Amino acid sequence: MAKSYINISLDDEKATQIAEVIGNKTCKQILQSLSEENATESELSEKLKLPLNTIGYNIKKLTEAGFIEQDSHWWSIRGKKVPVYRVANKSIIISPKKSFVSKIKPFVPVFIVTGLASFGIWIYDSIHSAKEIIPIVSDRVYEASPAMSAGVATTGAKAGELAANLPSPSIFASIPTWQLFLAGAWLALLIFILINWRKI
């Protein structure tokens, strides 16, 4: 869907073009005529009693400034494509150039909310870890029989083999959940800002 507006900074070259068009008598006559009905350059030249090259020059300026656009076209007897122009149905907004701070300001609440959410996750993890019950081993020492000792040794060897065959833990396994969440949320937000920087 096409935008219904054109947002231009005061430092933009297009702002100068718009100022020239607004102060140009011929451009204003063309705009007035096209606001009544769509027309080709030849039709405008005939209606406004102006040379065709003058109409063409000003049509180009109006198109570049965004005031008019090509509506359709038709073919002349000689097989030449003749464009039909109309007034662009768009609002032109001229505003001062936004500073870095003003561009980032709308996203500050999002940074704060994700930070608070990360803090909530950290509290939840802390409470959950505190509730874990560690089994208490009795201080009573039993003398193990040779058969029991051999069984324990065999079991320990098998456990060692199993541990050796297990895949090594991921690098992210040692990073707390809240840190992963915060890093992911802020990274996604920064990517979004960079992609849409010119539109902000």
DSSP 85-151: EEE---EEEEEPPPPHHHHHGGGHHHHHHHHHHHHHHHHHHHHHHHTPPPPPPPS---PPPHHHHHH
Distance separating alpha carbons of residues 92 and 49, to the nearest angstrom: 29
38 neighbors 86 (Cβ within 8 angstroms): yes
**Domain extent for 22:** 5-95
Residues 20 and 71 in one domain: yes
Closest CA to 34 of 81, 82, 68: 68
Let me know if residue 90 belongs to a domain: yes
User: Tokens 């656009």 map to which residue?
Assistant: 69
State the sign of the Cα–Cα–Cα–Cα dihedral 140, 146, 149, 155: negative
User: Tokens 């040794």 map to which residue?
Assistant: 153
Distance separating alpha carbons of residues 53 and 78, to the nearest angstrom: 19
The total domain count for the chain is 2
pLDDT score, position 99: 57
pLDDT in tens, the chain (200 residues): 445 556 666 666 677 777 788 888 999 999 899 888 998 999 999 999 999 999 999 999 988 888 888 877 777 677 777 888 988 876 666 666 565 666 677 778 888 888 888 888 888 888 877 665 445 444 444 454 555 544 544 555 555 555 555 555 556 667 888 888 888 888 888 888 788 766 65
35 three-class SS: helix
Let me know if residue 160 belongs to a domain: no
Distance separating alpha carbons of residues 91 and 154, to the nearest angstrom: 83
pLDDT score, position 142: 47
Residues 27 and 123 in one domain: no
Let me know if residue 137 belongs to a domain: no
62 neighbors 82 (Cβ within 8 angstroms): no
67 neighbors 76 (Cβ within 8 angstroms): no
Residues 90 and 9 in one domain: yes
Closest CA to 39 of 59, 65, 11: 59
pLDDT score, position 58: 92
Residues 75 and 112 in one domain: no
Residues 9 and 103 in one domain: no
